[in-house]
Amino acid sequence: MSLDRYAVFGHPVAHSLSPRIHSWFAEQTGERIDYRAFEAPLDDFAGTLRDFFASGGRGANVTVPFKGEASMLADERDARVERSGAANTLRRDADGRIRAFNTDGIGLLRDLVHNLGVDLAGRSVVLLGAGGAAAGVIEPLLEAGPACLIIGNRTPRRAQELARRFADLGPVAAEALADLPAADVIINATAASLDGGLPELAPGVVKSQTFAYDMVYAARPTPFLARCRELGAARTADGLGMLVEQAAEAFLIWRGVRPDTGGVLTRLRASVAEV
């Protein structure tokens, strides 16, 4: 009997840990799936995705830089995709229609709250970046009840547009990078860490009580986390837990069962550390 086929699409994608994560989820839950990574051409993500589904693909994860395009290609979008304009999970249903979801925000929140014990209620949260990665996590962050969520970006106009889009959901605003306030929690949603870069940090945004979180994962602290430590941040964490948690939500959407993430995260952290 052939296995149901799933995949992750990105550019680049060779570094992706998603095949490993989903194979462990399948092993744990007894679900029989085939999950692979595909590097889609920058100029033909749509064609690559359509070919995958036309050949029997059941579902896909989508990563940089295709999340916005993925949302546009779907036949139906859930509410979070409609608002954020970004999708990281696609599912082909029995009727042949492609449905889009965004599990990044719930993945981030589960990692912060359940894995790391970070309480966002009443806290000042600074979110760096105004692209698809940032847009996908704003709604769940606001649902956690922060005192304020401040978006900072190199292009202030994009941060302002993003803040307006979510303004009806809670206290969200945009500030120029130089004017960002001191943060109880600061989250890097820029792509800087993917290239070993460092997003601009305003003087005073990191204080001794700050918890710093990078949505990128790495075997060693990213430049962003290293800089936050230098500035005196109380705690830092990378996005490996978010990766596992958002993958578990995608697995639930596809297979109807949510894997236990604790053991997979421990196993993955050990394998990443060995690289």
The CATH number of the domain holding residue 212 is 3.40.50.720
Q: What percent of the chain has pLDDT over 90?
A: 85
Residue-range definition of the domain harbouring residue 222: 105-238
Give the model confidence (pLDDT) of 148-175 as tens digits.
999 999 899 999 999 999 999 999 999 9
Query: Could you tell me the two tokens for 275?
Result: 């690289």
Per-residue pLDDT at 110 exceeds 90: yes
- Which among 6, 35, 61, 67 is annotated as catalytic? 67
Shared domain check, 208 and 192: yes
**7-16 residues labelled b (16+ CB within 10 A) or e (exposed):** bbbbbebeeb
Contact by Cβ (8 Å): 31, 59: no
Number of H helices, E strands in the chain: 10, 12
Give the separation between CA 220 and CA 211, rounded to whole angstroms: 17
pLDDT attached to residue 1: 61
Give the model confidence (pLDDT) of 48-87 as tens digits.
999 999 999 999 999 988 999 999 999 999 999 999 999 9
Per-residue pLDDT at 195 exceeds 80: no
Contact by Cβ (8 Å): 101, 253: yes
Provide mean pLDDT across the span 127-143.
93
Overall number of domains in the chain: 2
Shared domain check, 262 and 215: no
**In the annotation, is 207 catalytic?**
no
pLDDT attached to residue 275: 58
